Amino acid sequence: MANKPNQHQVKAKKHLGQHFLKDESVAQKIADTLSLKDYKKVLEIGPGMGVLTKYLLKKDVETYVIEIDTESVEYLQTNYLNLAPRIIEEDFLKYDLNTVFKDKPFAIIGNFPYNISTQIVFITLEMRNQIPEFSGMFQKEVAQRICSKEGSKVYGILSVLTQAFYNAEYLFTVPPSVFNPPPKVDSGVLRLTRKENYTLPCDEKLLFKVVKTAFQQRRKTLRNSLKTLNLSDNLKANVIFGKRPEQLSVETFIELTKLIENDA
């Protein structure tokens, strides 16, 4: 095949968190984590030179990509002609996705920068009505945290809030050597599958507040850490308040939020 013009590789830019996957088998393995159930569109965040995109394009799903880097966008436009109409050159953190998706469901996938990965999860949680599935590469510790259960040292805000709405599975670990340039740490790929009942039986805003407030002082009992919520003595006598946040399952946090909601 004749070489197309402009086919030079994108030079990795540190400020954009660019670590390009160079191992095709890992890219394929990430693409294959999608179940393709309950949606017809997928959004890849940070496609770079399209190593993962290539495998998405082979699947029975309409692939969109959002990429902030002009040089990467030009590379994709030159090398993936069919993708061109579905390349969004924007900052994922600022872009209104419904300009494109118009309230329809879509999955999210990506090997995206570590420094925006937790923000990506929070945006996914906000848009959970439209996002039945999410697969992504994270710094290994962050992936483990998102998927961890109560009792674990790394169980925290991100674990509880994600698992309130999604089943979280840690799928596999990826070593630095498969990236160019290699990051300093191991990576981990996880999948979030939205729960059937993702509308909670409690005030969702209040749940976020309770979870965040409790974990801000994770060594303290809830009786102490939730003082700022001005709860009644009666409620604080409940045995839940003698526990520390890492001892509470997601279900118990929801239960607790209901109790606080009804506290007179």
By C-beta, is 45 or 164 nearer to ligand SAH? 45
- Pull the structure tokens for residue 50: 């399209």
117 contacts ligand SAH (rule: CB under 6 A)? no
Report the nearest approach of ligand SAH to the CB of residue 208 (Å).
Answer: 23
* Interface mask toward ligand SAH for 85-104; x: CB under 6 A: ------xxx-----------
Which candidate, 213, 181, 188, 206, places its Cα nearest to that of 17?
181
Which candidate, 161, 106, 97, places its Cα nearest to that of 135?
106
Q: Is the dihedral of CA 228, 242, 202, 101 positive or negative?
A: positive
Cβ distance 61 to 38 under 8 Å? no
Report the nearest approach of ligand SAH to the CB of residue 119 (Å).
Answer: 9
- Torsion angle, CA of 77/113/143/101, rounded to 10 degrees? -50
Q: Residue from 107, 116, 125, 142 that binds ligand SAH (CB under 6 A)?
A: 116
Q: Residues binding ligand SAH: what is the number (CB under 6 A)?
A: 24
Report the nearest approach of ligand SAH to the CB of residue 14 (Å).
Answer: 11
In DSSP terms, which residues pair with 45 in a beta bridge? 66
Q: Which residues bind to ligand SAH, rule: CB under 6 A?
A: 16-21, 45-48, 51-52, 66-69, 72, 91-93, 111-113, 116
Binding residues for S-adenosyl-L-methionine: 19, 21, 46, 67, 91, 111
